[in-house]
Amino acid sequence: MRRSRPRSKPNAIEVSERDEVRRMALSLLARREHSSRELHFKLTARGCAESDVVAVLATLRGERLLSDDRFAEAYVASRRERGYGPLRIEAELRERGIGDETIAAYLDESERDWLDRARAVREKRFGTALPGSAAEQAKQIRFLNYRGFGSAHIRKALRGDTER
């Protein structure tokens, strides 16, 4: 008489699926930092079960492999270096599920720093000469506004004020 193999438990299947979700999450995190919301979206878009995604993300947060604070810090530094202003960076962080406290903590640079950044971005795009016509000034205002600088920064950057 031949003995049949014991059937695998349903939990074993769930564990292997959860392991696959974890593997995918770690693969994404190895490339760059992600916010919890971004990672949740990417994993569910790839067909992972909601319950597995929630469990894996909680585990990763507990192991400090997933951190919205670390994501916000890296994101702000990256976008700032690419010439984006505080208003745009703040909006992009909100889209990615970052809370107000975290946003404030990483965007809280002095007014002078953002003004210097607005001036540098304007000069890189348009040169050191201040706009001569109203049309040129409007063009530069639109550009800096699109980049996420506030009206006070734009006004001072276009006036060429040396005061902060």
pLDDT, residue 164, reads 46
With H, G, I as helix, E, B as strand and everything else as coil, classify residue 125.
helix
Tell me, yes or no, if the two domains 15-66 and 67-108 fold the same way: yes
Q: Which CATH class is domain 67-108?
A: mainly alpha
pTM: 0.80
> Which residues contact residue 161 at a Cβ distance below 8 angstroms, ignoring those fewer than 6 apart?
none
CA 78, chain centre distance (Å): 9
Give the C-alpha distances (Å, rounded to integers) separating 141 from 28, 116, 135: 37, 16, 10
Q: What is the pLDDT of residue 162?
A: 52
What average pLDDT does this structure show over 94-111? 88
- Domain spans of the chain, in order of start: 15-66, 67-108, 110-164
Average pLDDT, integer, range 131-152: 94
Q: What top-level class would CATH report for the domain 15-66? A: mainly alpha
Q: Rounded to an integer, what distance in angstroms lies between the CA atom of residue 34 and that of residue 61?
A: 12
Digit-coded pLDDT (tens) for 33-85: 999 999 999 999 999 999 999 999 999 999 999 999 999 999 999 999 999 99
Query: 110-164: what fold?
Result: Arc Repressor Mutant, subunit A (1.10.10)
As given in the structure block, the two tokens for residue 146 are 């699109």
Cα–Cα distance for residue pair 86/149, rounded to 1 Å:
6
